[in-house]
Amino acid sequence: MRYNLAFIGFGNVGQALARLLTRRRQDLAAGYGVTWRLTGVASRRRGWLAGADGLDVEVLLNGGNAIAAGAGALPDVQAWLAAAQPHVVFEMSSLQASTGQPAIDYIEAGLRAGAHVVTANKGPVVHAYPRLRDLAESLGRGFRFESTVMDGAPIFSLFRSCLPLTRVSGFEGILNSTTNYLLARMEAGADLDQAVREAQTLGLAETDPAADIDGFDAAVKTAALATVVMGQPLPLNEVTRAGIRGLDPAEIRAARQAGRPWKLLCRAERTATGVTASVGPERLPEASPFAQVNGTTSAVHFATDTLPGLTITEHDPTPETTAYGLLADFISLVSAQEVTALAAS
Ligand SMILES: NC(=O)c1ccc[n+]([C@@H]2O[C@H](COP(=O)([O-])OP(=O)(O)OC[C@H]3O[C@@H](n4cnc5c(N)ncnc54)[C@H](OP(=O)(O)O)[C@@H]3O)[C@@H](O)[C@H]2O)c1
């Protein structure tokens, strides 16, 4: 089947996904019978662009204008969805941690327009997961978000598809790559400002790095993970949070030399009444597997009632890794649809 795809957000991740889909075009066709065209792209600066006959991806990737890409500009998401007629919407706009908006509204609009929605944006998962899941189910559509935590590593799909009936009693992990990189640079002699500048040059830290340094990003990921894999909606303000800003660089270096490094640890635990969760710097024992999780690598360890311990480590992710998580969600959604169509025929 030929799928109309529409992207909301065309930054690092959106562009990486466009390149990945283009590179794997033959594989999608040969392996899954899936062909695709891009019928909509939206971003803050470009506006709502749609072209029912398909847009020129190369022109868009090269920064070309809407007319060259074959697109018309629409006033809002509703008009855009009506023009792009997407089977799948990829929502990849910037995180608004405190509300999850406007991404929540975009996802709802996409589902109501009849599309599956795949997002890389944690905000909607933290602020609206049960509602979006139930809406998708009631409409017979899919809502997927593998890339929201640990980029392309299979976490949500692992629990959904491979670990039936498994109950997660807790997890701990290093979920924010930027702070892990900053700690590594401080272990090597940099102060926090120097480490942040290096991370910004490499594209690892935002212009305003506070969301990473003060533990907000890690707290959002902790809440998203607890909400979905522990089945317990966890409001962001219930995650106890501390960042790495207060750590002394000399102490960070000494701790590493002593083999007991500082790391920003995310934790969640099931209790008799719900789930408690925290993000904060901890000095790890030498034997901890997390003591060896360095640079932009991230890792999470789950305690469950089926596998006593399960640890997943993702080494050195890039926006390409995140794009792969979105592609994997797309394939899982549409291959399920192809099987259903086959069974009905
Ligand atoms: N970078 C990663 O590896 C990674 C990993 C996991 C998850 N994520 C998540 O993936 C999403 C995208 O990340 P990114 O690195 O691609 O960010 P980015 O490079 O800053 O791109 C964000 C895109 O969203 C667009 N945008 C922002 N607000 C919008 C709005 N209100 N309506 C429509 N479009 C809007 C921006 O438009 P303009 O271009 O016009 O500004 C831009 O195209 C974020 O939610 C992020 O947390 C990223």
- Indicate the average pLDDT of the chain: 95
Residue 111, SS3 per DSSP: helix
Q: pLDDT, tens digit, for every residue of 166-180?
A: 999 999 999 999 999
Q: Say whether pLDDT at 341 is over 90.
A: no
Q: Say whether pLDDT at 343 is over 60.
A: no
Percentage of residues of the chain with pLDDT beyond 90: 91
Using a 6 Å cutoff on CB, does residue 102 contact ligand 1?
A: yes
Q: Say whether pLDDT at 342 is over 60.
A: no
Q: Say whether pLDDT at 129 is over 80.
A: yes
Q: What's the whole-model pTM score? A: 0.95
pLDDT of residue 48: 97
Residue 149 Cα: closest atom of ligand 1: 6
Using a 6 Å cutoff on CB, does residue 9 contact ligand 1?
A: yes
pLDDT of residue 203: 83
**Residue 83 Cα, ligand 1 centroid: separation in angstroms?**
22
Q: Say whether pLDDT at 222 is over 80.
A: yes
Q: Which residues pair with 168 in a beta bridge?
A: 304
**Residue 206 Cα, ligand 1 centroid: separation in angstroms?**
11
Q: What is the DSSP letter of 292?
A: G
Answer whether 112's CB lies under 8 Å from 139's CB: yes
pLDDT of residue 335: 85
Q: In what order do the strands lie in the sheet with 143-144?
A: 72-74, 47-50, 35-43, 2-8, 88-91, 116-119, 143-144
pLDDT of residue 286: 87
pLDDT of residue 205: 82
Mean pLDDT of 159-167: 95
Q: pLDDT, tens digit, for every residue of 197-219?
A: 999 998 888 778 999 999 999 99
Residue 123 Cα: closest atom of ligand 1: 45
Mean pLDDT of 266-276: 96
Mean pLDDT of 277-295: 95
CA triple 111-119-217, angle to 5 deg? 135
DSSP 141-165: --EE-GGGTTTTS-SHHIIIIISTT
pLDDT of residue 339: 53
Q: pLDDT, tens digit, for every residue of 175-195?
A: 999 999 999 999 999 999 999
Residue 217 Cα: closest atom of ligand 1: 47
**Residue 44 Cα, ligand 1 centroid: separation in angstroms?**
10
- Residues 274 and 268: their CA atoms lie apart, in Å, by 10
Around 319, how many Cα atoms within 13 Å sit in the side-chain half-sphere? Answer: 15
**Residue 94 Cα, ligand 1 centroid: separation in angstroms?**
4
Q: Say whether pLDDT at 337 is over 70.
A: no
CA triple 170-314-208, angle to 5 deg? 90
Confidence of residue 344 (pLDDT cuts 50, 70, 90): low
pLDDT of residue 13: 95
pLDDT of residue 69: 86
Q: What is the DSSP letter of 209?
A: T
Around 173, how many Cα atoms within 13 Å sit in the side-chain half-sphere? Answer: 30
Choose the weakest-confidence range: 13-17, 150-154, 155-159, 337-341.
337-341
- HEC assignment per residue over 16-74: HHHHHHHHCHHHHHHHHCCEEEEEEEEECCCEEEECCCCCCHHHHHCCCCHHHHCCEEE
Using a 6 Å cutoff on CB, does residue 101 contact ligand 1?
A: no
Confidence of residue 1 (pLDDT cuts 50, 70, 90): very high
Residue 45 Cα: closest atom of ligand 1: 40
Phi, psi of 23 (to 5 degrees): -65, -35
Q: Say whether pLDDT at 340 is over 90.
A: no
Mean pLDDT of 303-322: 95
